């Protein structure tokens, strides 16, 4: 499953992935790459120029996204502030 939203941005339309997952029994069998490829084709057809997501370097998803052509953006900073 891929849950996200399409939004307009200064470099064009992008798809923000909020959640992306493949059933555990299908992982490491190419299912994630195939699904991502099909998602990219669908998004291209809708005029989307970029896919954007956040993940952590310490999880297997990090290597999955690198393997599938995503690049880590050095100029981006993720902020958090505890308020309670």
For the entire predicted model, the pTM comes to 0.87
| 73 falls within a domain | no
CATH number of the domain enclosing 43: 3.40.630.30
How do strand 12-20 and strand 50-53 relate by DSSP bridges? Answer: parallel
| 75 falls within a domain | no
| 77 falls within a domain | no
Residue length, the chain? 84
| 72 falls within a domain | no
Domain count along the chain: 1
> One digit per residue, pLDDT tens: the chain, 84 residues?
999 999 998 989 999 999 999 999 999 999 999 999 999 999 999 999 999 999 999 999 999 999 999 999 998 888 988 898
Per the structure, the complete domain to which residue 12 belongs is given by 2-67
| 84 falls within a domain | no
Residues facing 19 on adjacent strands: 3
């Amino acid at each position: 499953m891929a849950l996200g939203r399409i939004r307009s941005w200064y470099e064009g339309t992008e798809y923000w992935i909020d959640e992306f997952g493949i059933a555990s029994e299908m992982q490491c069998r190419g299912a994630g790459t195939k699904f991502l490829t099909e998602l990219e084709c669908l998004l291209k057809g809708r005029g989307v120029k970029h896919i954007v997501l956040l993940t952590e370097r310490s999880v297997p998803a990090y290597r999955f996204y690198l393997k599938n052509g995503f690049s880590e953006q050095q100029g981006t900073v993720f902020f958090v502030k505890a308020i309670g």
